[in-house]
């Protein structure tokens, strides 16, 4: 009996042993938890002096952000208009490539012939404003009218039509820049060149004097431009580079053209 009783006796026999057991019961789990947290958090940390702080490692960590497709754009820059084919693939193909919702399928000359016969302006008007099941601009309000028109022409011409590529309204036609250049030339002449060319001072050919300008014009524009931009030492006088002005080369050329035109 005494041996069996002794086997069931507690190992804690003194108050000190009891206190130590209680403290250990609290501290051991806490220490284990702290060590576990440190292990988990340190596994993802990068030491300040480790190789992970190298430019290559930093670039690798930033790569996912750089690959998101974000591009800085100048909001004030003019919009780059898409081609008809690009608009077709991005917007119109959903219906016009399959003939869905009654849309004439691209390449189906029979389906397009009656529509083409209505005229290019009517086709474009329907595409821009929408008609029947087709929403305005194919459902993409961000498209420019010109982009829509290009898409219409592309689809029609792929289906037996011979429509012309639409022009961009407001785009300068060939030679449209001439008035602006003439204005710039006159402005520089009035502010600088007139000092000598207005009265023929220092051997400068007088403005409007055909006889004085004729041999110079005969040399060609390239020579006239070079003399005006770089300066020229003549028999009767000297012209300083750009007439002493701080104008751009293009402005000087415009002034030369302005004076030469007045003497022709």
181: Cα within 13 Å, side-chain hemisphere: 14
Q: What percent of the chain has pLDDT over 90?
A: 16
Residues 104 and 50 placed together within one structural domain of the fold: no
Cβ atoms of residues 260 and 224 within 8 Å? yes
Residue 25 lies in a domain: yes
What sign for the dihedral angle of Cα 179, 181, 187, 193? negative
Q: Within a 10 A sphere around the Cβ of 221, how many other Cβ atoms?
A: 12
pLDDT of 69 > 80? The answer is no
Same-domain status, 55 and 115: no
Task: Calculate mean pLDDT across residues 223-237.
Answer: 82
More confident residue, 8 or 213: 213
pLDDT value at position 110?
A: 93
* pLDDT at 71 > cutoff 50: no
Domain boundary among 157, 185, 219: 157
3-state secondary structure 134-175: ECHHHHCCCCCHHHHHHHHHHHHHCCCCCCCCCCCCCCCCCC
Q: Are residues 185 and 250 in the same domain?
A: yes
Say what the pLDDT of residue 20 is.
76
Give the Cα separation of 6 and 41 in Å (integer).
Answer: 48
Residue 172 has pLDDT above 80, yes or no: no
The CA distance from 249 to 242, in Å, is 8
In a domain, 49, yes or no: yes
Instruction: Examine residue 76 and state whether it is found in any structural domain, yes or no.
Output: no
Query: 8 lies in a domain?
Result: no
Q: Domain containing 190 — which CATH number?
A: 1.10.760.10
Residues 92 and 148 grouped into a single domain: yes
Distance CA 136, CA 129 (A): 4
Question: How far does CA 140 lie from the centroid of its chain?
Answer: 20
Classify the C-alpha dihedral 237-241-242-243 as positive or negative: negative
Residue with tokens 């028999």: 235
3-class DSSP assignment, residue 101: helix
Is the residue at 121 inside a domain? yes
Question: What is this structure's pTM?
Answer: 0.40
Across the range 40-66, mean pLDDT stands at 54
User: Which of 201, 202, 186 has its CA nearest to residue 260?
Assistant: 186
Per-residue burial over 236-247, b if 16 or more Cβ lie within 10 Å, else e, is eeebeebbeeeb
The whole-number pLDDT of residue 51 equals 55
pLDDT at 94 exceeding the cut of 50:
yes
Same-domain check for residues 34 and 67: yes
**Quick one: pLDDT at residue 65?**
42
Q: Which residue has the higher pLDDT, 168 or 210?
A: 210
Neighbours of 143 (CB within 10 A): 22
The H or E element that residue 210 is part of is helix 210-218
Least confident segment among 82-91, 96-105, 145-154, 160-169 = 160-169
pLDDT digits (tens, 9 = 90+) for 179-212: 666 788 888 888 888 888 888 877 888 888 999 8
* Torsion 13-17-23-25 (CA) sign: negative
Reported as a pLDDT band with limits 50, 70 and 90, residue 36 is confident
In a domain, 60, yes or no: yes
Whether the pLDDT of residue 17 is over 90: the answer is no
Residue 83 pLDDT > 60: yes
- Dist. CA 64–CA 53, nearest whole Å: 17
Looking at the fold, whether 220 and 149 belong to one and the same domain comes out as no
Point out the domain boundary residue: 101, 125, 157.
Answer: 157
Domain span holding position 63: 14-71
pLDDT of residue 89: 92
Tokens of 204: 């400068």
- What integer best gives the mean pLDDT of the chain? 78
Q: Are residues 61 and 88 in the same domain?
A: no
What percent of the chain shows pLDDT beyond 70? 73
Which of the pair, 264 or 179, is modelled with greater confidence?
264
pLDDT the model gives residue 52: 53
User: What confidence score (pLDDT) does residue 154 get?
Assistant: 93
Tell me, yes or no, whether 20 lies in a domain.
yes
Total domains in the chain come to 3
């Amino acid at each position: 009996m005494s041996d069996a009783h002794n086997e069931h006796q507690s190992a804690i026999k003194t108050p000190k042993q009891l206190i130590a057991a209680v403290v250990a019961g609290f501290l051991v789990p806490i220490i284990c938890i702290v060590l576990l947290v440190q292990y988990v958090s340190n596994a993802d940390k990068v030491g300040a002096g480790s190789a992970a702080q190298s430019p290559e490692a930093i670039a690798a960590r930033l790569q996912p952000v750089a690959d998101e497709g974000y591009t800085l754009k100048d909001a004030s820059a003019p919009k780059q208009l898409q081609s008809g084919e690009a608009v077709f693939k991005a917007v119109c193909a959903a219906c016009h490539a399959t003939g869905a919702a009654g849309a004439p399928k691209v390449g189906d000359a029979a389906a397009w012939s009656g529509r083409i016969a209505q005229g290019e302006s009517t086709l474009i008007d329907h595409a821009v404003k929408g008609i029947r099941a087709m929403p305005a601009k194919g459902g993409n309000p961000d498209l420019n009218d010109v982009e829509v028109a290009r898409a219409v022409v592309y689809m029609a011409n792929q289906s037996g039509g011979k429509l012309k590529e639409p022009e961009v309204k407001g785009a300068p036609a060939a030679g449209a820049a001439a008035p602006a250049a003439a204005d710039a030339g006159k402005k520089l002449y009035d502010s600088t060149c007139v000092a000598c060319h207005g009265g023929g001072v220092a051997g400068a050919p007088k403005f409007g004097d055909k006889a004085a300008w004729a041999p110079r014009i005969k040399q060609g524009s390239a020579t006239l431009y070079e003399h005006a931009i770089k300066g020229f030492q003549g028999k009767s006088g000297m012209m300083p580079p750009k007439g002493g002005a701080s104008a751009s080369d293009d402005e000087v050329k415009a002034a030369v053209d302005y004076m030469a035109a007045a003497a022709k």
